Amino acid sequence: MKFLIITAMCFCVKTVLTLDCYWNTGCKYKYFSSKTPYEIVRGDIRDSIVKQEECETISVWSMLRHGKRNPSQRYAEDMQFILKNYKDYIVSSYEIGNSLLCAQDVENIKNWKINTSMLDEPNELSNEGYQEVLDIGRRIKETFPELLTNLRENEYKFTPGFGTRFEESANAFIEGLNDNKLIITKEYGDYTFVAPYSTCGKYQVDIRNNPNIYHEVDVYEMTEEYLNMRERVAKNLGFNFIPSNGNITAMYDLCRYSWNGLLHKPSPWCAVFTTEDLKILEYVGDLRHYYRNGYGAIKFSNVLGKLPMADLIRNFELAKRGNGRKIVSYFTHATMMDMLVVVLNLYKDPTPLMGSYRNVHRRYRSSFLSTFGSNLIAVLNRCRKAHNYDYSVSLYWNEKPLTEICNKGTCSWQEFEDIFTPFLNATDDICEFKWTQIN
């Protein structure tokens, strides 16, 4: 009996000592603001589609963020700095006994090999990102096989924003539809629906290129909570200095950009952070999106976001009359997805997000709203009622019913008109002049 008790005690002690190791943690934190892999948060349109008796789908409209991309040049350079100057230091700190990381976590960082294209091809769509969007197209095709088979040229429209990652995302989507005869439509400078902010002069000056919009981020990065996170990272890594905000971000980027969502393969670089650290860094992303594209920039987001919503109702009105397209899809930035959240009044908190306080129960979460591959899908259904037809519209965010609108995401035509008709009056007059430095 004494032997059994001792054995049990030893087992428990061992479990406690390895509890904080990242490599064997069963439930890893995987929400990385707008860099969250789509696979982590998506639903499945094949399962979530609202089925109504005596109804058929006659049109599908969607707005999709491009799939997972590589970091921009600036952030890629910061990540390269970490790999050159910190990686070996992390290993040596462990070897001399200064680090609090687990042996396997350090070994995984030491043996980790970077996909060179991730840093050498800034902003380009990754292989994972291509597959993300291809899979969305495939699931949509499987949901509406009759509607989306043998499409004629006037029955579809696939429009990417400016840049190869958008065009490649559109091509991936088409490949998922399994119809290689389909082609994308380039707007050549007219981004009214897919990315109106990209040519909006006033938005670019007042918001996009104005560092003051990140004031709340600056405030948060001076809070005790954030500063403690930096100290905790330094202590865990065995550093005799506190990493700068930029270096913290670079290690965070190594964690989230090299996390493979499709393979459900975490990045060893995430071992640098505790779960609480990752939640703190996620909030930094929320603040940035909130004040650049979201409710904190409502003067612009509530106007520019209406333009694609006007396109949605126009397309469905035409489809009702038998003149619409069977499918319309736009491929855009996280910026557009953030603006759609504002226009549709989704996930709005009672009080604004602030740098002085992180509300852990906030509704606004960029990890669920503007991830790689995030999307709004609208489905127009025609239902036979006695001697005429009735119509309804079902809305989905990331392939899940958008339950905040109408009856768990499904609107009668009248409800849909009441919400979307005002968008038809939207203009881009707020822009004042055209911005030409599109990137």
The CA distance from 406 to 222, in Å, is 41
What is the chain's pLDDT, residue by residue, as a tens digit (439 residues)?
333 333 333 333 333 344 579 999 988 999 999 999 999 999 999 999 998 888 999 999 999 999 999 999 999 999 999 999 999 999 999 999 999 999 999 999 999 999 999 999 999 999 999 999 999 999 999 999 999 999 999 999 999 999 999 999 999 999 999 987 899 998 776 889 999 999 999 999 999 999 999 999 999 999 999 999 999 999 999 999 999 999 999 999 999 999 999 999 999 999 999 999 999 999 999 999 999 999 999 999 999 999 999 999 999 999 999 999 999 999 999 999 999 999 999 999 999 999 999 999 999 999 999 999 999 999 999 998 878 899 999 999 999 999 999 999 999 999 999 999 999 999 999 999 999 877 6
pLDDT of residue 407: 93
Q: Report the SS3 class of residue 431.
A: helix
Helix/strand/coil (H/E/C) assignment for every residue in 89-142: HHHHHHHCCCCCCCHHHHHHHHHCCCCHHHHHCCCCECHHHHHHHHHHHHHHHH
pLDDT of residue 439: 66
pLDDT of residue 219: 99
Q: Which DSSP letter does residue 429 get? A: G
Q: Report the SS3 class of residue 391.
A: strand
> Is beta strand 55-65 parallel, antiparallel or unpaired with respect to 327-332?
parallel
The residue type found at 234 is A
- Mind listing the domains of the chain with CATH numbers? 32-431 (3.40.50.1240)
Token pair belonging to 325:
């397209």
